[in-house]
Amino acid sequence: MADTMTALESQADLSAEIEDTAATWATAREPEFQPRRDYPPYRSTLLRHPTKDLFQVDPEGVELFAPAFGQRDVAPLEADLTIQRGGEPLGERMVVTGRVVDGDGRPVRHQLVEVWQANAGGRYVHQRDQHPAPLDPNFTGMGRTLTDADGVYRFTTVKPGPYPWKNHHNAWRPAHIHFSLFGTDFTQRLVTQMYFPGDPLFALDPIYQSIVDPAARERLVATYDHDVTTHEWATGYRWDIVLTGAHRTPVETGEDPA
């Protein structure tokens, strides 16, 4: 594809490619549970996905250089992203909770869950994020927790805003929260994204659409839960994470700063 990294292509051009890919998949009707590594509408997958054969490494050797996590390393207050600075962050305060389970529905206990996200204006606290949206001095956008004995995690945060990115002209990412989960060691890390229901940017976003199977794609969308919502304090969303099996939550297959 000529000039695949250009930032001047229109949303209409990208949407047409997204629709063509979806139509091709609909004809084949083969289940796809994960994002495609090479998804042309997501231009930088050409540079991100692996192009070399896998290389066997010594897992014990890798773990010598990896961090070690335990319950004493994670403080309960780290799960509240609204109290990490000297004041209240701006935006819609909300609670995000759910269960981490295996393919048989059994809870994954004491699992380290990390999150990071943009602020309510759609900007990350990161030197590479320079788009003209305000930084919130009272919001870092990062938190972590451990699942309990029933596999439940819970975060208090603010709803992130959508933000522009450089995939094509007038490209915007739907609001989302990044999730990272560790297994029993650092080499078992999984990374994924949680989205919010009814976002009008879903159909326009090549990253979300890189999961061409609609049923798998929907597993990335949280559900508003009024029972999680707190009176006069925070709205509530529920999002379960399934690690294995046919209904597993789609995870990222490569680095994705967006």
Domains and CATH numbers, the chain: 3-46+75-242 (2.60.130.10)
Of 252, 94, 85, the C-alpha closest to 161 is 94
The pLDDT of residue 242: 93
Q: At 114, list the tokens.
A: 């990390």
The pLDDT of residue 253: 66
Q: At 222, list the tokens.
A: 């949280």
The string of pLDDT tens digits covering residues 45-55 is 877 777 777 77
The string of pLDDT tens digits covering residues 157-212 is 999 999 999 899 999 999 999 999 987 655 678 899 999 999 999 999 999 999 99
CB 218 within 8 A of CB 199: no
Lowest-confidence pick of 62-66, 151-155, 246-250 = 62-66
The pLDDT of residue 1: 40
Name the 3-class secondary structure at 99: strand
DSSP secondary structure of 120-183: TTS--SSTT--SSS---TT---EEEEE--TTSEEEEEEEPPPPEEETTSTTEEEPPEEEEEE--
Name the range with the highest mean pLDDT among 17-31, 57-71, 160-174: 160-174
pTM above 0.85, yes or no: yes
For residue 126, the one-letter residue type is: H
State the pLDDT confidence band at 68, using cuts at 50, 70 and 90. low
* pLDDT (mean) for 5-27: 87
Residues catalogued as catalytic: 124, 163, 173, 176, 178
